Amino acid sequence: MIDKFRKVIHICRELFKKVYLPGGLKIWITFFSFLFIGYSIYSNFGKLSQQSIPKSSFLFLIFGFFVSFLSLIVNAYAWKRIVIWLGYKSKDINFISLFLTTNILKYLPGGIWHFLERFRTLKKYMSLETAFYSVILEPLFMIIAALFWVPFNRLHFLTMIICFFPLLLLTRKFRRPVISSLKSLKISDFKKIDEEISFSQSSNLSVIQHSNYPYIAILAELAFILLRFGGFWFCLYAFSIQDSLTTFSWLSAFSLSWIIGLAVPSAPGGVGIFEASILLLVKGGAPEISLISVLLCYRLIASLADLFAALVGSNIRFFSRFSRISREN
């Protein structure tokens, strides 16, 4: 099974190497995403400039901001449970504050610096291997959780199988090939800050092989996606287009677009890819002008929530250090 996974990864890498794109694939995906969004805004600019938000709707945007902030707290807790699942149970690290303060780094060019900063911090307190897996497994958990909500739009049997099957990747039978595949994909990124990082081919955390299914972490990630969608839902209410589609249709489109924004190499933070995906998936199902306004507002409140969370996380870390120093004295 492991050899099959590695073979698929090798084939994909070879295909990408043969396709030459000046500047790399990421730049072109980002370019076309922004081009599509820019065209959508340009073609509707006259009507967009006339768009106004009633004062009562600002309340929905405020709710959206706080729900988006709450989603980050839940996401941080989910990550903490992943690290615990990997066998690290010490209380030396405040995982919530570490997650919140580093999350804002996802907006830096490259889109990997929040992961690298967490790895740099974690390896001071745990083995290199545990720190490495603690970071690379989190996006996998998030994608699995987001996929879970995709088929609720239309409960097609095949779609449900495709979207629910990834939950099995965290069972004992599939963990080894999945982790090996992630390791081979991500090791080069982490060598940017630690050239000596290397694991043997058989290297896998024994605790992962023998631990139970990470129910708590998955449930927390499921809640995170729902809360993330909640922030988007309040933006839909602000522009009164929430009834253009059913709630589950919006949830499905949001979850799939969120996955694409996370998984497809693009601008930092998924900016552009997420918005373009929503516009394509919902095309014709909701007023385009209002939907563009929703996406612009959602991107604003989500980014402000990330910034606010980073400030909160920094204060938590400061007071944690202050209280620890006070106890020592």
Q: Is the pTM of the predicted complex or chain greater than 0.75?
A: yes
- Percentage of the chain modeled with pLDDT above 70: 72
Question: Measured between alpha carbons, how far is 96 from 77 in angstroms, rounded to an integer?
Answer: 6
Most confident stretch, 130-134, 211-215, 255-259: 255-259
Single-letter amino acid code for the residue at 117: E
Whether 253 contacts 245, CB under 8 Å = yes
pLDDT over 50 (residue 41)? yes
Q: What would the two tokens of residue 314 be?
A: 């920094």
Locate the domains of the chain by residue range. Answer: 56-328
pLDDT over 70 (residue 203)? no
With the CA atoms of 149, 299, 273 and 132 taken in that order, what torsion angle do they form, in degrees rounded to the nearest 10?
-70
Task: Tell me how long the chain is.
Answer: 329
Whether 145 contacts 224, CB under 8 Å = yes
Question: Measured between alpha carbons, how far is 24 from 55 in angstroms, rounded to an integer?
Answer: 45
Q: At what angle do helices 2-18 and 172-190 cross, to 10 degrees?
A: 40
pLDDT per position as a tens digit, 54-111? 777 889 999 999 999 999 999 999 999 999 999 888 788 899 999 999 999 888 877 7
